[in-house]
Structure 1
Amino acid sequence: MLDENTIKIVKSTAPVLQEHSQEIGERFYELLFSRVPDLYNMFNQTNQKRGFQQGALAYGVYLAGANIDNLQAIESMVERVTEKHRALGVQPEQYPIVGETLLEAVKDVLGEAATDEVIDAWGKAYKAIADIFMDREAKLYQETEKQPGGWIGIRPFYVEKKVKESDVITSFYLKPKDGKPIPSYQPGQYLTIQADIDGEKYFHMRHYSLSDAPNKDYFRISVKQEDAQGMAPAGIVSNYLHNEISEGDTLAIAAPAGDFTVKTEELPIVLLSGGVGITPMMSMFNTLVENHSEREITFIHAAENSTVHAMREHVENLAEENQNVTSFVCYANPTEEDRSKHRYDKEGFIDLDWLQTVLSDNQKDFYFCGPFPFLKAINHALQKWGVPKERRTYELFSPISTIEDA
C-alpha cells in the first residue's frame, strides 16, 4: 500500500514524464540493451528503429503514475501488456533490472528535476505496479499450460499450406510437429513466432493475428509483407516468412494470446478493418458464422484496391449465404477493373456520413483494426456519432498505447 506522500509526488510528476516520454523511452532502451543485450531477442527491433516502442513504454509509465491511486483505471492496459508478456515469455526476475534502468533513464532525461524524493516515490510506484503485472502473468502462464493442448514457451509447428491471399498478404496454415492437440483460442487473439533468421545476431519475436475460427486442427495466420517505406525499414520477419519459409518448413510458436476478443453477445456487431487489420476480423467473422450466430453482422473492409484486398470472395460468399450478414468494401484508389466490375461500395475512406447511410443506427458493438490513422479516424467518427467507449473495441498492431489522445 503506497503512502499518501508517494501518491501525491507520483501523480504530480506524471505529466512531466509524459512530456518527455519519447526521450525517456529512448534512453531506457539504450541503457537496457547495453546491460542485457539478450533482451534484443524479446523486442521488435523494427519498432525500435521506428521509435514506436520508446514512446509507448514511457506513455504506459505515465498512465500508471497518473492513476496510481486508482489502478483499476488502467486495467485494460494491464490486460493487454500482460498478454504480450506471457506470449514473449517475460519472467519475474526481469522486472528489477527494468525498474532500475527506467529510473536511471528518468534521472538522465529530467536532470535536477528528478530529485531523490521523486525517484524514491517512482521506485515505490514501479514496485507496486510490477507486482500487479507479475501476479497477472503468473495466472496467465498457469491458465495457458493447463488448457487442453496448451503449452508454455516455444513449440515447433510446420507449415502445412501457404496460400497467397493478395499481392501483399499470404496465409500460413500451421500444424504441430508432435501431432498432439492444439488449444482453442478466442477469436481476435494472436500467435507469437520466434524467428531465428540466418545473418541476424538475435532471434525475432512477432505477434500475428489468428485469421480463422478456433477449434480446427491447425492455426492460420495471414501476414502482410512489409516493405521499406521512406525512413521506415522493411519488416524483417514478414519478409522472412514470405520469401524464405516454404510448405513443410518449421516455425517456433508460442501459444495464442491477446485481449482483443468479442466480449458481448447482445447487440448487432460491426467489424471494421483496414488493410491487414482484416486478419483478426476474419477470425471473429468466421466464428460468428460457424456458430450460427443470430446477431446482425456487418463486415466493412477498407483497402487501397482489389490487388491488396485479402479474402474478398470468402466474405462475399458468406454474406450471400447468411441473411444476417452484410458486407461492404471501400477502396481508396480503385483500379480501372475495380470500377468496371463494381468491386467496391465506396471510393475513398470510411467516414461518418457514409457509415450512417449503411448502418441503420449506432446501437451496435463496433470492433475495428488497421493502421494507426485508420483506427484514429474510425474512433473519432464513432465518438462523434455517440457510440460509447465500451462499445468501441480496437486492436493496435503497433506498440502505440492509445488512439484516444494521439
Structure 2
Amino acid sequence: MTPQQIDLVKATVPVLRENGVTLTQYFYNRMLGNNPDLKEVFNLGHQRSGAQAQALAGAVLAYAENIEDPSVLSSAIELIAHKHVSLNIQAPDYNIVGENLLHSISEVLDIPMEDPLIEAWAVAYGKLADVLINAERDMYQQHEKTKGSWLGWRKFKIAEKVQESEEISSFYLQPVDGQALPSYQAGQYISVRVLVPELGLKQPRQYTLSTNPHEDYLRISVKREPAKEDKVAGWVSNSLHNLPQGAEIEVSAPTGNFYLIDSHKTNVLISGGVGLTPMVAMLNQLVAQDMPQAVHFIHACRNSKVHAMKQHLKDLQAEYPQLKTWVAYEFPTAQDVLGQDYQAVGRLALAQLDTALLPADADYYLCGPMPFMAEQRQALLDQGIPAQNIHTEAFGTGGVKL
C-alpha cells in the first residue's frame, strides 16, 4: 500500500467506530441477498442476533487501526482462519466478500466506487485476503496429510444421545462411510451443519469436542437454547436436540488453536456453564495419559439441574487424588443444600479460593460466556498469574474479533 492509501484507510477509523455495525449489517444483507447460496455458509442465527455484524465491525476497525503493521493481529487471524476452514471457505469466496464489502462502503458512506478511498480499501482488503487464504491453504494441506481427516463436509450419524443435565445432551457421532477418524487436540472443535426446519436451510455452527480422541466416534455436548425474554432460540442447537438417534448430519474435520499445551505441568481448567466441554476433553486426555501432573477443575453454573457431567468428575476424583475440583452454584436449589456437589454459593470468585488451587506456575484454560472469561482472566492477573499462562477459548457466537 502507498502512504496515501494507508492514510485514507486510517482516516476511516472514526467513522468505523461510530457506524461500523451499520456498515457491516448492510454488508451482510447485501451479500446474502446477492448470493443466497451463502446462507448455508453463514450462520443466520448470528445474523439475526446482530452478533456477526458486531464481530465483523470490530475486525474491520482493528484492521484499520493496525493497517501499518497488521502482524500484531496474527493470533486473531489464526483464529479466523481455523473457523473459515471449519466452514470450508475457499479462495473464490473472498472475491464475493470483497466485492460486496467495497460496494457497501461506497453505498453507506455515499461515495463513488471510483473514489480513492474505495481503491485504498480494495488494496487493504486484498492484502488481508491473501494472508487468510495462505493460512487456510496450509491448514487444508495439513488435513490432507492427516490420517482419517477430510476436507469440507462429511456425513455422520448420531449413534447415541446421552442427557448430561436438564439443558445439555451429548451426541456421539460416527462417520456414515465407516472410515477412520483423525486424532485431534483436546479443546478443538468441529462445525456441524443441520437442516433447520424453520428456515428450510442447512445451517452451520461450531461445537467443541467434549472428549479426547476415540477411534470410532466424535462427541459434542450441546446446550438446548430455548427462546427467552432476552434471547432468541438457538436454531442449530435446538434442531440437533430434536433429531433422533440414527439421524444424519454434516460435520467438518476437527480444528482450532485452543487446546491443552503441556500435560507435564499443573493445569487449571476454569469453566462456566456449557464452557466445561473443552475442559472435560482436556481432562479426559490427561486421564488417557494417567494424569501425569495435578489438575484443578473449577466450574461455575446455576445449580445441580444444569451441572453437566458432575458424576464423571466425581468418579475421576475418586480414582485420581491429584485431581482437585471446585464448584460454585449461583442459585442452588433446596435439594442442593443437602448435598455436597458444590463448594461456594454465588458467582465464581477466584479471590476466595485456596491459593493452592491457583499455583503461579500452572497453565490456565478459560471457557464460558465472554464476560465470564474476561472476569476470570482479570482475577487471575490480579493474583499475579502471568498473562502468557492464561489461555481462553475465543471462538464463540457471532465469530471473533481481530
TM range (shorter): over 0.9
The equivalent position to 1:295 in structure 2, one of 293, 296, 306, is 293
Q: Which residue does 1:330 correspond to in 2?
A: 328
Residues 340-393 of structure 1: CA deviation (Å, up to 9, x unaligned): 112211111112422454525333211111112212211222232333332221
Contact 1:228 1:234 in 2 (8 A): yes
Residue 376 of structure 2 is aligned to residue 388 of structure 1: no
The structure-2 alpha-carbon separation of the partners of 1:400 and 1:92, relative to structure 1 and needing over 3 Å to count, comes to closer
Name the structure 2 match of 1:163: 162
User: Take 1:283 and 1:3, find their aligned partners in 2: how far apart are those partners?
Assistant: 48
Higher relative contact order (Cα pairs below 8 Å, separated by 6+ residues): 2
Say if 1:211 and 1:221, in contact at 8 Å, map to a contact too.
yes
Which residue identity lines up with residue 3 of structure 2 in the other structure? E
Task: Give the length in aligned residue pairs.
Answer: 401
Structure-2 residue corresponding to 1:145: 144
- Looking at structure 2, the residues matched to 315 and 55 of structure 1 have their Cα atoms a distance apart, in angstroms, of 37
Question: What is the deviation of 1:167?
Answer: 0.3
Instruction: Return the alpha-carbon distance in structure 1 between the equivalents of residues 373 and 210 of structure 2.
Output: 19
Aligned match of 1:372: 370
Q: After the TM superposition, which of the residue ranges 172-181 and 230-239 deviates more from structure 2?
A: 230-239
Which blocks of at least 5 consecutive residues in structure 1 are unaligned? none
Alignment of 1:200-219 (within 5 A): 200-219=199-218
CA distance in 1, matches of 2:21, 2:101: 13
Which deviations, in whole Å up to 9, do the C-alpha atoms of 1:279-298 show, x marking residues without a partner? Answer: 11111111012112423211
Cα shift at 1:114: 10
Is 1:81 paired with 2:108? no
Percent of aligned pairs with the same residue?
38
- Distance apart, 1:154 and its partner CA: 1.5
The 1-side partners of 2:121 and 2:261 are apart by 34
SS of the aligned residue for 1:174 comes to strand
CA 363–110 in structure 1, closer or farther in 2 if over 3 Å, else same? farther
1:68 Cα deviation (Å)?
2.3
RMSD (CA atoms): 2.1
Task: Give the TM-score taking structure 2 as reference length.
Answer: 0.94
User: What amino acid does structure 1 have at the position aligned with 2:154?
Assistant: R
Q: 2:256: which partner in 1? A: 258
> Residue in 2 aligned with 1:130?
129
Q: Which amino acid aligns with 1:68?
A: I
Q: Identify the residue that residue 277 of structure 2 maps to in structure 1.
A: 279
Does the aligned pair in 1 maintain the 2:59–2:401 contact within 8 Å? Answer: no
**Deviation readout 1:228-282 (Å, 9 max, x if unpaired):** 1225321112111112x12222121111121211234564211111111111111
How far apart are 1:102 and its partner, in Å? 1.3
Where does residue 319 of structure 1 map in the other structure? 317
State the 1:112 CA deviation: 5.9
> TM-score under structure 1 normalisation?
0.93
Q: Counterpart of 1:192 in 2: which secondary structure? A: strand
Structure 2 contact 360–386 (Cα < 8 Å) conserved: no
Q: How far does residue 160 in structure 1 lie from its aligned partner after superposition?
A: 1.4
Distance 1:351 1:114 in 2: 53
Instruction: For residue 161 of structure 1, give the secondary structure of its aligned residue in structure 2.
Output: strand
Task: Give the whole-Å Cα distance in 2 for the aligned partners of 1:115 and 1:281.
Answer: 51
Structure 1 residues 115 and 281: CA distance shift in structure 2, 3 A: farther
* Contact 2:194/2:240 (8 A) holds in 1: no
- 8 A Cα contact 1:370 1:397, kept in partner: no
